[in-house]
Amino acid sequence: MQVFGLIGDPVGHSRSPPMHEAAYAELGMDARYVTFEPTGAGAAVKAAGSLGIAGLNVTIPFKRDVFDYIDPDPLAARIGAVNTVDFSTDPPRGYNTDLAGVTRSLAYHDIDPSGADAVVVGAGGAGRAAVFALVDAGASVHVANRTLATAEDLVAAVGEGTTAGGLATLDDCVPDADLLVNATSVGMDEDETPVPARLLHADLTVLDAVYSPVETRLLREAAAANATTVDGAWMLLFQGVEAFEVWTGREAPVESMNRALRDQL
C-alpha cells in the first residue's frame, strides 16, 4: 500500500483526504491519504522517509521550514514555499502546486490570463503563488496589500510586470482590471469582502481563494455585477490534482476528486 499525506498544524479541518482517496478508488490504487501534526518540518520529513511514505502535502506553518530538508524544484525555489514533497528521490523533491491551483482553475473555466491586467489582493502564501502564476502566464499584476512593504517585497521578488500598493489602490486598479484574485482570508469567517462592490464590473473575472464558504460575499457581489466568478474550491482541487500527478505520474481523475471535495463543502 502507498501512503500519502498532509503535514501542518492544525490539519483536522483538511478536505484533502476524501479528495485524494476518491482518486485512488477511481483508478484502483492501493493507497491511503492521512494527516499528521508533527512538532517540526525536519522531524516530519525524516520520519516520512523512514516510514516509506510516498508523498506529503505541506501546509501552515511548514511551507518555508521544509526547505531545509528537501530539494526544491526551480519554481518552488522562486516562490519561496513548498506545499508538496515527493519521496521518490534522495533528497526528497519539493514542489509548489498552489501555482497550478491558480492556472488550472482559470484554464478549466476557459479564462486566459495572457495579456490581462490583473489585481491580486494579498501578498501572503496564496498571493505569492497567484502573482507568480499570472506573471508567468503573461499577465500584468498589481498587488494590493494591507501592509505595503510586504507587497513591495513580493513585487521585487517577481520582477517585471508587477506593481505594488496599499488597499486604497483598489479604487484605481479594479475598475479597469480584467482579472481580480482575492488571496486573503477575508470572507472566510465573516460575511465581508476585501473589494467594495462598487468597483466590480461585467468585464471582470473574479477568483476567490476562500473555499469555505464556497460562495463568498465577494463572489455574490461579483455575480450581481455580471462578472465571471471562480470559487476557491477550484484552486483547492487543482493544487491537489497537480500533487497527485507529481506523486503518481498518472492523470488525475479530476471530476471524481471534484465531487468528493464539494460533497464536504
- For the chain, the domains span 2-96+235-262, 100-230
Q: What is the pTM of this model?
A: 0.95
Catalytic annotation, pick one of 15, 20, 63, 93: 63
How confident is the model at residue 12, as a pLDDT?
A: 87
CATH architecture entry for 100-230: 3-Layer(aba) Sandwich (3.40)
63 is catalytic: yes
How confident is the model at residue 187, as a pLDDT?
A: 96
The Cα–Cα gap between 21 and 157 comes to 36
How confident is the model at residue 161, as a pLDDT?
A: 94
Q: Phi and psi at residue 10, in whole multiples of 5°?
A: -90, 165
Domains 2-96+235-262 and 100-230 alike in fold: yes
How confident is the model at residue 264, as a pLDDT?
A: 93
- What string of pLDDT tens digits covers the 265 residues of the chain? 999 999 999 998 899 999 999 999 999 999 999 999 999 999 999 999 999 999 999 998 999 899 999 999 999 999 999 999 999 999 999 999 999 999 999 999 999 999 999 999 999 989 999 999 999 999 999 999 999 999 999 999 999 999 999 999 999 999 999 999 999 999 999 999 999 999 999 999 999 999 999 999 999 999 999 999 999 999 999 999 999 999 999 999 999 999 999 999 9
How confident is the model at residue 13, as a pLDDT?
A: 87
Rg (CA), the chain: 18
How confident is the model at residue 121, as a pLDDT?
A: 98
CB 55 within 8 A of CB 4: yes
CATH architecture entry for 2-96+235-262: 3-Layer(aba) Sandwich (3.40)
How confident is the model at residue 198, as a pLDDT?
A: 98
- Give the 3-state secondary structure of the chain: CEEEEEECCCCCCCCHHHHHHHHHHHHCCCEEEEEECCCCHHHHHHHHHHHCCCEEEECCCCCCHHHHHCEECHHHHHHCCCCEEECCCCCCEEECCHHHHHHHHHHHCCCCCCCCEEEEECCCHHHHHHHHHHHHCCCEEEEECCCHHHHHHHHHHHCCCEEEECHHHHHHHHHHCCEEEECCCCCCCCCCCCCCHHHCCCCCEEEECCCCCCCCHHHHHHHHCCCEEECHHHHHHHHHHHHHHHHHCCCCCHHHHHHHHHCCC
